[in-house]
Amino acid sequence: MKQRSSNDWTVADSAELYGIDRWGAGNFCLSENGQVLVQVEFPEGPVSLPLSELVAGAEARGHNCPLLIRIENLLQARVELLNESFAKAIAESGYRNRYQGVFPVKVNQQAEVIKEICRFGKSYSHGLEAGSKAELLLALANLNENSLLICNGYKDREFIDLGLLSRKLGIDCIFVIESPSELSIIIDRSRELQITPLIGLRIKVSAKVGGLWTETSGDRSSFGLSTAQLIEVVDQLRQEQMLDCLQLLHCHLGSQIPDITEIRAGVREAARFYTELSDEGVPLRYLDLGGGLAVDYIGNQSQHSHSRNYDLPGYCRAIVETVAETVDAKRVPHPVLITESGRATVAHTTLLLFNILDVLQFEPLALPERRPDNLHQLVAEQFALNLQAHQPSPANYKRALSNRDQIRDLFRAGEVSLRQRSLAENLFLSIARKTLAWLDQNPDVETELPQLRHQLADIYYGNFSVFQSLPDTWAIGQVYPVMPIERLNEAPTRDAIISDLTCDCDGKLAGFILGHSESPTLPVHSLDADENYILGVFLIGAYQETLGDLHNLFGDTNVLSVKLNADGSFDVVRETPADSVADVLLQTEYNPQELFERMRSRAEAAVRKGVINLQERQQLLNEFSTRLQGSTYFNH
Ligand SMILES: Cc1ncc(COP(=O)(O)O)c(C=O)c1O
């Protein structure tokens, strides 16, 4: 990769460094003047818009960073692409049935997202999957006609009653049995309400998949029936003369499956279950293969857990062909194919934009020109190492590092003063910086000091909370594409980790993909005075919004749903203002009015004691009241 200090840095170098053409999947790219663009296909041709214009448009509407932006067009494109790709694979392979997808609500439950998925999926009868009572309710109210409502997860009587009653409206609500205990409730309630249920069975396949969710399948998975339980449930349904209700077989191998051969193996096993049960006279119609279609977060099309070694057409072909081959062997009719693709449907649509508030640099402060007298011998040596006469080299650096650590020991033992320690540490930073500059000129030697660049990295403080907006980066080490949204025609000469606003050392982004390798630091530009330097975090539409929490009481950010138009303009379809301080206090059992009243009493008492005057009291209470209604984030 090109030297980042070079004067002839181009937009193409930035594209290569941040990998935007690989993970951007045609949705994000760079303009000639160094801006990140969101790009949307229209019949008239592609339209692109700089993200900086979206930020300006949001600010003009009163919504500052941090901003969560959903691009509706990208959601539409994903829903269409998923359905069209299956249709193509089915047509090309001569598969004798159809695809009918569902969106698993848990991957993004936000009202706007669900509403739009149903709207864009209407012509494909794209349905929903619900895993809790709250999800069932929102799914029932949003579901398109002729779409499926698949109910996974554990279900109680209330859940089952509502699902059964919805059948009276003609809704194809299918209860997927996860554990044998659910069956008796379904049988009892359907008899009582005199409504015929639609039933699915979730199986545990033994084929294992790689990635972060290997525990989802296999004997010890917490969901689904063992083969013995499966047979028992089938026999019970037969005995109850309810075998007709059993129409769907379900399995979920895991999320974000990186390897297509493992998907094929899992699908083959599921299709074998389907074939055998059909052979036994179970009138199955649907084979639901769950989620697992991965997103290439790092854009290198590999078996890395954040990537995948296949594309969407390849995924569809693998499923269609494998199911056809397996059921054909026993002359069983081809089932309707269902997948519950979550992250691959919504990841690309959402991005987080936040501004940098401050920077901490690990640079030496001013050093004395002449060596001070009476230095400890190790500090004196540090001084000498820093002089030009010593060429920077890994050996000199290691010597300076050892000196620094010994000087710290001596300080702890009371043998070196604070001022000498300060000088020694400052000298060490100077030596380290010179060594790093020398390594830039001699990249082959960097292997000897692999950590140096990261140890000297700046800390860029971002106006966001990892725990609220990007919880998976903290919880499971998820890596998302992160990059500045402007100045990409300039070399990013600094390396930084990105710290958030929480007072938590875990509140940081310290895992990035650069070129084709992982790095704990992100190349960034040095900040100009008063610059509103904005970083974008991309592909975050799956799981993040509802998994996020209130750590340090940073609330939901401003959210804008945006639609690009063919003429290059954009509409803000929906704007949801960020949580106010009062909102987050309410969520943590405080009553903001009561807090205000307590503050008022305190101020009143202070006036009585003559500690503050009435004007100061008023100023304090006005400020308290305004802050209650204000944002939990920094205003710039
Ligand atoms: C039953 C079920 N279906 C679908 C999904 C969505 O998976 P993905 O986001 O990988 O498509 C999940 C998530 O783990 C799941 O548990």
pLDDT at 530 over 90: no
Query: In this predicted structure, what is the pLDDT of residue 87?
Result: 98
Per-residue pLDDT tens for 32-45? 999 999 999 999 99
Strand 482-484 to 534-537 pairing: antiparallel
Question: Which residue minimizes the CA distance to atom 15 of ligand 1?
Answer: 291
Q: Which atom of ligand 1 is nearest to the CA of 131?
A: 1
99 in Cβ contact with 337 (< 8 Å):
yes
Q: Position 520: which residue type?
A: P
78 in contact with ligand 1, CB cutoff 6 A:
no
Q: How far is the CA of 216 from the centre of ligand 1 (A)?
A: 10
Higher per-residue confidence, 356 vs 2: 356
Residue 348's SS3 state is helix
Per-residue pLDDT tens for 383-441? 999 987 668 888 899 999 999 999 999 999 999 999 999 999 999 999 999 998 888 88
Query: Which tokens go with 584?
Result: 């987050």
Strand 67-71 to 127-130 pairing: unpaired
Per-residue pLDDT tens for 15-30? 999 999 999 999 999 9
Residue 375's SS3 state is coil
105 in contact with ligand 1, CB cutoff 6 A:
no
pLDDT at 120 over 80: yes
CA-to-CA dists, residue 169 to 76, 165, 173, 248, angstroms: 27, 8, 10, 20
Q: Distance between CA 261 and CA 449 in Å, rounded?
A: 39
Higher per-residue confidence, 123 vs 388: 123
Question: Which residue minimizes the CA distance to atom 7 of ligand 1?
Answer: 291
Q: How confident is the model at residue 223 (pLDDT cuts 50, 70, 90)?
A: confident
pLDDT at 518 over 90: no
Q: How far is the CA of 106 from the centre of ligand 1 (A)?
A: 8
pLDDT at 551 over 90: yes
555 in contact with ligand 1, CB cutoff 6 A:
no
Q: How confident is the model at residue 216 (pLDDT cuts 50, 70, 90)?
A: low
Mean model confidence pLDDT for the chain = 94
Query: In this predicted structure, what is the pLDDT of residue 388?
Result: 72
Q: How confident is the model at residue 442 (pLDDT cuts 50, 70, 90)?
A: confident
Per-residue pLDDT tens for 578-605? 999 999 999 999 999 999 999 999 999 9
Q: How far is the CA of 103 from the centre of ligand 1 (A)?
A: 9
250 in contact with ligand 1, CB cutoff 6 A:
no
Q: Which of the listed ranges 315-324, 515-524, 544-553 does the model predict with the highest average pLDDT?
A: 315-324
What is the pTM assigned to this prediction?
0.95
561 in contact with ligand 1, CB cutoff 6 A:
no
Higher per-residue confidence, 457 vs 389: 457
Query: In this predicted structure, what is the pLDDT of residue 149?
Result: 98
pLDDT at 153 over 70: yes
CATH topology of domain 77-350: TIM Barrel (3.20.20)
Q: How confident is the model at residue 529 (pLDDT cuts 50, 70, 90)?
A: confident
Higher per-residue confidence, 6 vs 558: 558
Q: Which atom of ligand 1 is nearest to the CA of 543?
A: 9
Q: Distance between CA 579 and CA 468 in Å, rounded?
A: 11
425 in contact with ligand 1, CB cutoff 6 A:
no
Describe the chain by its helix, strand, coil percentages, rounded to 5.
45, 20, 40
Higher per-residue confidence, 59 vs 445: 59
Q: Distance between CA 299 and CA 253 in Å, rounded?
A: 23
Question: Which residue minimizes the CA distance to atom 12 of ligand 1?
Answer: 291
Q: How confident is the model at residue 2 (pLDDT cuts 50, 70, 90)?
A: confident
291 in contact with ligand 1, CB cutoff 6 A:
yes
Per-residue pLDDT tens for 468-512? 999 999 999 999 999 999 999 999 999 999 999 998 999 999 899
Query: In this predicted structure, what is the pLDDT of residue 218?
Result: 67
Higher per-residue confidence, 73 vs 305: 73
Element (H, E) at 94: none
Report the percent of the chain where pLDDT is more than 90.
Answer: 87
Q: Which of 186-190, 209-213, 402-406 has the least mean pLDDT?
A: 209-213
Q: How far is the CA of 107 from the centre of ligand 1 (A)?
A: 7
507 in contact with ligand 1, CB cutoff 6 A:
no
Query: In this predicted structure, what is the pLDDT of residue 215?
Result: 65
Residue position matching structure tokens 């199911």: 323
Q: How far is the CA of 20 from the centre of ligand 1 (A)?
A: 26
